[in-house]
C-alpha cells in the first residue's frame, strides 16, 4: 500500500495501473493510454516496480536537492537584505538592485518566491479598469510630458516635496527632474531649461490644466480673470514655437502618470536606501544616477530613429524667454517697484535717461530680476532697504462688489 504522505495522487494512480500490468490484467498499450505516457515508459516503470516495489514509481531524483538549486545561505542572505535595507522595494526593483549593488544575479520569479514564502514583499494592487492604450509618438522629442508629483519623497517624517519631471512619450525615457516644495512656474521653467539645453526644443508639451500652464478660471467671485490673456508659460512656449496640448483628466496622460507612480515606488526606496534627505542632493542623485539607470532599463526605441528636437536658435539665452515678464514705469529717482519691493536702477553704460520711461522686468526661474530698456539695453538693479511702497489698489470689479455685499 502507498502512503499518501509520501506519494502524490499521480504516483498512486500510476502504481495501481502498473500493478495491473504486472499481474497481466492490463496490456502495456492500454496502460500507456490511461497514464498518458509511452508504452516504452510503461515497460521501464514496470521493471522498476518489480525490482524496488512501490519506490520504483518515483523518479530517481525524487527527494534529492536539484543540481541547479541555489544555496540555502544565499536565499537567507537575500531575505536578510530585503528585511534590513530594501524592505520597501518591489520584486523587480529589488532583483535589479541585487545585481547592481550586491552582484547577486537571480530571476525575478526566484526573488518573488523566496520573499513571498517569508511573507515579504509589496502589497498586490489589482486594476479592473479597461482603457485603450494610445500609441506612442514615432520620434524622440515629438511630445514631452511635464508634470508635478507631490509625495513624501524623502520619507514620511520629512515634509512632502513635489517632483517636477519631464518625460519623452516616444521612448518613455525621463529627461530631467527636480524636487521643489510645490509645483510652480519657476520650477517648470527650470526643468524645461535643462531639457532644452541638453536635447533641444520639443515639438509639443502634454500638460494638465494647472494654473501656471493655462488660465482655467474664466471669472470668479473676487477677481475677474479673462481667459484670452495667456499665462507666462504660454507666452514662453509660443515664443519658442512649442505646441501645448492640455489633457482634460489624469487618465488622458496615463503614460506620464504611470511613470510618476513607478518613481514613487522605486525612487523613494533608493533615496531611503542611500540615506538622502536633502532636496538638492535628491535632485542630483535623480539626474546623475536614477534617471540614466531607469532610461536604460525601461526606455524603448522610437519607431523613427530621427529625433524631432529642434536646436535652440544661435545666440538665444533660454532664460530670457523662460521667465515672467512685466512692464514697469521708472520713477524720477530711477526706481521701480515690484511685488511691494523697491529696486534701484544703476547707471547704464549708454548714458540714456530712463526716468519717466517704461522698462521690461524679467523674473528668471532662479529668482533673479533683470531690467531691459529699448534704448539703454540691460540695466542692473539692486533692491533698496527700508520701508516698502504700498501696493497700488486695483479697480474693483462687479464680482468684488457682490462678494462684499
pLDDT band for position 8 (cuts 50, 70, 90): low
Contact 231, 213 (CB under 8 A): yes
Count of domains observed in the chain:
4
Are 90 and 208 in the same domain?
no
Are 190 and 83 in the same domain?
no
- Say whether pLDDT at 220 is over 50: no
pLDDT band for position 10 (cuts 50, 70, 90): confident
- Say whether pLDDT at 285 is over 90: yes
Task: Return the higher-pLDDT residue of 65 and 106.
Answer: 106
Contact 148, 123 (CB under 8 A): no
Which residues lie below 8 Å from residue 11, measured CB to CB, with a gap of 6+? 2, 57, 58
Name the phi and psi angles at 164, rounded to 5.
-95, 115
CA 107 – CA 93 distance, rounded (Å): 12
Q: What would the pLDDT profile of 223-274 be if each residue is shown by its tens digit?
A: 444 456 788 999 999 999 999 988 766 555 566 678 888 888 899 999 999 9
pLDDT of residue 222: 43
pLDDT of residue 329: 92
Mean pLDDT of 39-60: 80
Where are the extended beta strands (E) located within 47-182? 143-151, 161-168, 174-180
Residue 214: left (phi > 0), alpha (psi -120 to 50), or beta? beta
Alpha-carbon distances of 249 from 133, 212, 246, 323, rounded to whole Å:
15, 17, 9, 27
| Residue 315 maps to a domain | no
Are 175 and 243 in the same domain?
yes
Domain extent at residue 338: 322-383
- pTM of this structure: 0.66
Q: What would the pLDDT profile of 132-167 be if each residue is shown by its tens digit?
A: 566 889 999 999 999 888 999 998 999 999 999 999
Of the listed ranges 37-51, 102-116, 196-210, 248-262, the least confidently predicted one is: 248-262
| Residue 27 maps to a domain | yes
What nine digits make up the cell of 273? Answer: 536606501
| Residue 229 maps to a domain | yes
Q: If you average pLDDT over each of 78-82, 285-289, 382-386, 399-403, which comes out highest?
A: 285-289
CA 294 – CA 168 distance, rounded (Å): 13
| Residue 174 maps to a domain | yes
Which residues lie below 8 Å from residue 332, measured CB to CB, with a gap of 6+? 355, 356
Are 169 and 271 in the same domain?
yes
What element of type H or E holds 404?
A: helix 398-404
Sheet with 381-383, strands from edge to edge, namely: 335-338, 341-345, 381-383
pLDDT of residue 228: 60
Are 167 and 272 in the same domain?
yes
Of the listed ranges 49-53, 120-124, 134-138, 204-208, the least confidently predicted one is: 120-124
Are 152 and 290 in the same domain?
yes
Contact 307, 140 (CB under 8 A): yes
Amino acid at each position: 500500500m502507498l502512503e499518501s504522505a509520501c506519494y502524490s495522487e499521480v504516483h498512486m494512480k500510476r502504481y495501481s495501473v502498473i500493478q495491473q500490468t504486472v499481474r497481466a490484467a492490463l496490456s502495456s498499450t492500454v496502460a500507456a493510454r490511461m497514464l498518458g505516457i509511452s508504452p516504452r515508459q510503461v515497460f521501464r516503470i514496470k521493471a522498476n516496480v518489480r525490482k524496488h516495489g512501490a519506490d520504483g514509481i518515483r523518479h530517481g531524483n525524487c527527494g534529492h536537492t536539484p543540481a541547479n538549486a541555489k544555496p540555502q545561505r544565499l536565499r537567507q542572505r537575500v531575505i536578510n537584505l530585503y528585511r534590513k535595507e530594501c524592505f520597501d522595494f518591489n520584486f523587480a526593483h529589488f532583483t535589479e538592485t541585487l545585481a547592481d549593488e550586491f552582484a547577486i544575479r537571480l530571476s525575478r520569479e526566484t526573488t518573488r518566491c523566496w520573499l513571498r514564502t517569508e511573507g515579504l514583499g509589496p502589497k498586490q494592487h489589482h486594476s479592473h479598469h479597461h482603457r485603450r492604450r494610445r500609441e506612442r509618438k514615432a520620434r524622440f522629442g515629438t511630445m514631452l510630458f511635464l508634470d508635478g508629483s507631490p509625495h513624501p519623497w524623502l520619507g514620511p517624517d520629512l515634509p512632502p516635496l513635489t517632483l517636477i519631471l519631464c518625460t519623452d512619450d516616444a521612448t518613455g525615457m525621463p529627461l530631467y527632474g527636480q524636487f521643489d516644495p510645490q509645483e510652480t512656474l519657476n520650477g517648470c521653467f527650470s526643468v524645461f531649461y535643462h531639457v532644452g539645453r541638453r536635447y533641444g526644443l520639443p515639438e509639443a508639451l502634454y500638460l494638465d490644466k494647472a494654473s501656471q500652464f493655462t488660465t482655467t478660471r474664466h471669472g470668479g467671485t473676487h477677481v475677474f480673470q479673462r481667459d484670452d490673456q495667456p499665462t507666462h508659460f504660454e507666452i514662453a512656449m509660443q515664443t519658442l514655437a512649442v505646441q501645448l496640448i492640455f489633457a482634460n483628466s489624469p487618465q488622458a496622460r496615463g503614460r506620464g502618470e504611470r511613470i510618476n507612480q513607478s518613481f514613487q515606488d522605486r525612487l523613494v526606496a533608493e533615496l531611503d536606501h542611500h540615506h538622502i534627505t536633502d532636496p538638492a542632493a535628491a535632485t542630483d542623485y535623480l539626474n546623475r544616477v536614477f534617471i540614466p539607470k531607469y532610461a536604460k532599463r525601461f526606455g524603448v526605441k522610437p519607431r523613427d530613429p530621427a529625433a524631432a528636437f529642434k536646436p535652440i536658435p544661435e545666440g538665444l539665452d533660454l532664460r530670457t524667454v523662460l521667465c515672467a515678464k512685466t512692464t514697469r514705469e521708472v520713477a524720477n529717482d530711477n526706481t521701480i517697484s515690484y511685488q511691494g519691493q523697491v529696486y534701484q536702477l544703476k547707471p547704464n553704460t549708454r548714458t540714456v535717461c530712463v526716468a519717466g520711461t517704461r522698462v521690461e522686468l524679467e523674473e528668471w526661474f532662479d529668482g533673479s530680476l533683470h531690467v531691459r530698456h529699448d534704448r539703454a539695453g540691460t540695466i542692473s538693479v539692486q533692491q533698496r532697504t527700508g520701508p516698502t511702497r504700498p501696493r497700488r489698489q486695483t479697480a474693483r470689479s462687479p464680482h468684488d462688489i457682490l462678494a462684499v455685499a
